[in-house]
């Protein structure tokens, strides 16, 4: 299902394994131009509202989606171009949004990246302290004062 999303835009991936389109897939399939910030917002606002826990966003390079997604408080979007970056985005950063390139990655690699990302848990520990610092930045605070 995620591989089909690679050619049509974004897809939300719920924790229970359900997938629901969140972007402009019908428009994209018709060949009409779409704007990736709209799709990024549609998926990520659902995470911010607690309606889902994770999302997968796909655009030409994945970069624009990642930038747009990370503008929403509570979103930790990561651009992954291989299985290791997908794994580390989860274990170290608890990424709740995976951004992928539709133009630069093949379907087989995309499937491996998504599978790795979906099954990898957050390690916690020292990484949790760093997430708290990221949350401080989102609040406009200096993170250097946080120690635990």
Task: Please list the active-site residues.
Answer: 59, 92
DSSP assignment letter at 35? -
Cα–Cα distance measured from residue 108 to residue 18, given in angstroms and rounded to the nearest whole number: 20
Q: Which of helix, strand or coil describes residue 144? A: helix
Of 50, 49, 46, residue with least CA distance to 22: 46
Vertex 10 angle, CA 42 and 80, to 5°: 115
Residue with tokens 């608890």: 94
* 117 neighbors 80 (Cβ within 8 angstroms): yes
């Amino acid at each position: 299902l995620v591989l089909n999303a690679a050619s049509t835009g974004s897809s939300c991936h719920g924790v229970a394994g359900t997938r629901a389109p969140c972007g402009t897939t019908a428009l994209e399939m018709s060949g009409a131009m779409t704007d990736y910030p709209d799709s990024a917002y549609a998926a990520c606002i659902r995470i911010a509202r607690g309606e889902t826990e994770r999302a997968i966003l796909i655009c030409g390079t994945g970069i624009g989606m990642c930038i747009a997604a990370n503008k929403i408080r509570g979103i930790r979007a990561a651009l992954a171009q291989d299985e290791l970056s997908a794994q580390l985005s989860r274990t170290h950063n608890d990424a709740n949004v995976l951004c992928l390139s539709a133009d630069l990655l093949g379907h087989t690699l995309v499937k491996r990246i998504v599978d790795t990302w979906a099954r990898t848990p957050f390690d916690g520990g020292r990484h949790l302290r760093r997430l708290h610092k990221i949350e401080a930045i989102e609040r406009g605070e200096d993170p250097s004062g946080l120690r635990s």
